[in-house]
Structure 1
Amino acid sequence: MLKVDCLIIGGGMVGAATALSLADLGLKVALVEANAPQSYLPEQGLDLRVSAISLASEQLLQQLNAWQQVKDWRSCVYKRLGVWEDDIAYAEFNADEIQQSHLGHIVENRLIQLSLWQQLEQKNNVTLLCPEQLDTFSQSSDKVFAQLTNTQVEANFIIGADGANSKVRQIAGIGITGWDYQQSAMLINVKTELAQQDITWQKFVPGGPLAYLPMPGNNGSLVWYQDKAEIRRLSELTNEQLQTEVGKNFPKRLGKVEVIAKGAFPLTRRHANNYVKRRVVLLGDSAHTINPLAGQGVNLGFKDVAALQAVIAKAIGSGENYHDETVLKRYERNRRTDNLLMMTGMDAIYSTFANPSTPIKLLRNIGIFAAHRAPLLKKKALAYACGIR
């Protein structure tokens, strides 16, 4: 039987970052993942799954010695964020307004995961169990006993970083609240005629937002929010047919576009009723999934990682039992309110822009117009979105 301090289920971006952050505190960690990240080659096409990495997330990845490798591979830095519904009401946020060189980077999820795994492989207090999966686990008063497909593990506590359908959460009997937004989002990788790499933008239209995320070179990731039936229809089109639809519906800022790849996923909201239960801790999508409107999903997960590391580091420094439920609950108190605030805020924006009422639309545009001309409000909103104070 493998004996460790912490067993982490899920080796994606958040799970891998958690493993590194706890290993850096001297804990003996085992990380369970079904599929290792694919190696990187410069000639590989851009992945569909990308994230807008905030300044706070960038700082965490720097701390974990994983950020420089990501930058050496490929990423796209952006300095501005544009939001509008009608052209007369356009708001733009600029990194200069918060005295920063940039607002964030658009990075392929796989490259972040891969860089974190490369760091994990150098740690002699980390055991990577891959390919492996969790079958079940049980808890005693002071231990967790997990049965994996091929391995038995004993740990002081277990972390669920295994996504929105977390098996850890289900076995622990932690309930969730949430709903289906009755919409899907389509991701479309494109080559663009015009370069526009320092800005990410979002236009609100009746069916749902249209967004652009810059990628290295004259490449971009388009995000198309629509009802499920329409996204199914779009998904069945050839790349050439979809290209025509993009030309009809998206703003003309990018000139002609060539569709390279596409994929779609449903929009859902999930929030665990507890982040901690006895010796079980949930992080990232296992604890909360958010409307991707502002690209905050993985950034909230990385905030979870930083908060848990801080709580455990303080407990170790104070001579406390770091895996006691009363200690781990401090992480939940630290993160739950902030996550709920962000989730509620995104839902409010989503609902407001989904309302077709003419008076509501007028108020929306007045709000965007005013926001562009309110420097203090813009500064506070930008700093919060970037995760800085």
Structure 2
Amino acid sequence: MNEQHSDQITADLAIVGAGMVGLALALALALAPSGRRICLLEQRPGDSETWLEQLAEQPSQHYDPRVSALNLASVRLLEQLGAWASIQNQYRACAYRDMKVWDGEGSGRIHFSADALHEECLGYIVENSVIQAGLLQQLTRYDNLQLLTGIGLKQLSAPHEDGSRLLELSDGRRLSVPLVVGADGALSRTRQLSGVGATEWDYGHHALVTTITTEREHGETCWQRFTEDGPLAFLPLAGDRHKSSIVWSTSPEHARELMALSDDAFRQALVRASDECLGGVLESAERKLIPLRQRHAHHYVETGLALVGDAAHTIHPLAGQGVNLGFMDAAALADVIEAAWARGEAIAEERVLRRYQRQRRSANLCMSAAMESFRRLFAPQPAPVRLLRSCGMNLMDRLEPVKQHLVLQAMGLSGELPQRLQRQVT
């Protein structure tokens, strides 16, 4: 529920940031039988009803340029929270059944197929605003969940003797809670105020995103070409089989050149860069540019503090795993907190919170390292390296067991998953 302004705020846990990951964590904890009070702080003004109305007022042909490639573990979490039914029935989500990846500077190709895995799909392409709307709709189900909007975090105290933290809010109010969770994005104010350091560097890439209409249907397929400047992805959208979202990661100089082009010249550049995989590009919406940086917090937890999602880590979008890692963080932390509540443990204790860090930090570091390796592998290389790269891609495409192992992990069907997201074997 949305909480009106009052002098006193009481809660058993505070989450800073009501984006996709913060909302998912709040709802997962609100579901717990403990009935603990959860306070969700969001700097954006307004309320959930207004945000949902604004989305409903958008014409059906309007698409959010920011999309996520949800794997099946993330979908399982959204199902448990009640959000997935809303996303599918009231909004839209596009299941993709194939993924075709090729080397634009060589002859290497890999094709991933849901049919080969005997699965209905590999995942879903969903607009970020739609995911958030599906989660927002669930807020009214819980009286123990407060959403406070238009409020930022001004100060965060060191832990008190009992491990609790004092939050000073931008409207002058204070909130003392056993645990504060930072889910407030890559430039996390929570992380900064807590003094938790992060290793970060510039990828040397900007991501250009927009929505396009193509001559040929997308065929429920994700298309990704590694160009000389960076990866270009066509991601299928629901509602119109000729609509796709593009994510073009390229050098800052090339990105600025693309942004400066006329719509017609940009569409022609897009056709050339994509090897005409979907024919001509007939229409393109407004383009947006997102600078890309890698970040990883030195640690995710301290006494009375935990970081999740982009507040803890950001990675290159070339494999579309960013939001999935955030949802896995939310599910793992919810598992740890619920178990601690059930055992009567203090959730502020660092030894308790380290259970979450042990689950997620190594997995996130491995994914970050893999994305960095791919990025470097497909950077401009001498001809012999390009030849080896293409041979390696073609070999992997023929090694079905290896390929299936990789894609099952990306789909969230294997590997170390939070307990609540593990697939039940029947």
Conservation of the 8 A alpha-carbon contact between 2:83 and 2:138: yes
Higher relative strand content:
1
1:29: which partner in 2?
38
What is the Cα deviation at residue 260 of structure 1?
1.6
1:360: which partner in 2?
385
Secondary structure of residue in 2 paired with 1:255? coil
Q: Pick from 247, 251, 258: which aligns with 1:223?
A: 247
Secondary structure of residue in 2 paired with 1:254? coil
CA distance in 1, matches of 2:97, 2:413: 15
CA distance in 2, matches of 1:323, 1:387: 30
Residue type matched to 1:332 in 2? Answer: Q
CA distance in 2, matches of 1:319, 1:135: 31
Q: Does 1:249 align with 2:273?
A: yes
Conservation of the 8 A alpha-carbon contact between 2:222 and 2:233: yes
Structure 2 residue runs without a partner (length 5+)? 1-7, 415-426
Which runs of structure 2 are paired with 1:132-143 in the superposition (5 Å)?
132-138=151-157, 139-142=159-162, 143=164
What is the Cα deviation at residue 71 of structure 1?
1.1
Conservation of the 8 A alpha-carbon contact between 1:76 and 1:197: no
Which runs of structure 2 are paired with 1:14-53 in the superposition (5 Å)?
14-25=21-32, 26-35=35-44, 37-39=51-53, 40-41=55-56, 43-44=59-60, 45-53=62-70
Q: Does 1:162 align with 2:178?
A: no
Conservation of the 8 A alpha-carbon contact between 1:190 and 1:261: no
What is the Cα deviation at residue 388 of structure 1?
1.3
Q: Does 1:5 align with 2:27?
A: no
* Identical counterparts, % of pairs: 38
Conservation of the 8 A alpha-carbon contact between 2:109 and 2:394: yes
CA distance in 2, matches of 1:190, 1:271: 33
Q: Pick from 83, 93, 105: which aligns with 1:75?
A: 93
Task: State the Cα deviation string for residues 115-141 of structure 1 (Å, max 9, x = none).
Answer: 111111321001110121111121312
1:121: which partner in 2?
140
Return the TM-score normalized by structure 1. 0.97
CA distance in 1, matches of 2:257, 2:153: 36
What is the Cα deviation at residue 88 of structure 1?
4.0
Secondary structure of residue in 2 paired with 1:51? strand
Residue type matched to 1:321 in 2? Answer: A
2:368: which partner in 1?
343
2:424: which partner in 1?
none
Residue type matched to 2:93 in 1? Answer: S
What is the Cα deviation at residue 236 of structure 1?
2.2
1:106: which partner in 2?
125
CA distance in 1, matches of 2:119, 2:36: 35
Task: State the Cα deviation string for residues 231-288 of structure 1 (Å, max 9, x = none).
Answer: 1121122323312221232221212211122111111100000100111100000000
1:90: which partner in 2?
109
Counting matched residue pairs gives 389
Task: State the Cα deviation string for residues 344-369 of structure 1 (Å, max 9, x = none).
Answer: 00110110110421111111111110
CA distance in 2, matches of 1:38, 1:23: 21
2:297: which partner in 1?
272
CA distance in 1, matches of 2:28, 2:358: 19
Q: RMSD in angstroms over aligned alpha carbons?
A: 1.4
Q: Does 1:305 align with 2:330?
A: yes
Secondary structure of residue in 2 paired with 1:17? helix
Structure 1 residue runs without a partner (length 5+)? none
What is the Cα deviation at residue 197 of structure 1?
3.6
Q: Hey, which bits of structure 1, 4+ residues long, moved more than 6 A? A: none
1:232: which partner in 2?
256
CA distance in 1, matches of 2:350, 2:12: 15
What is the Cα deviation at residue 38 of structure 1?
4.7
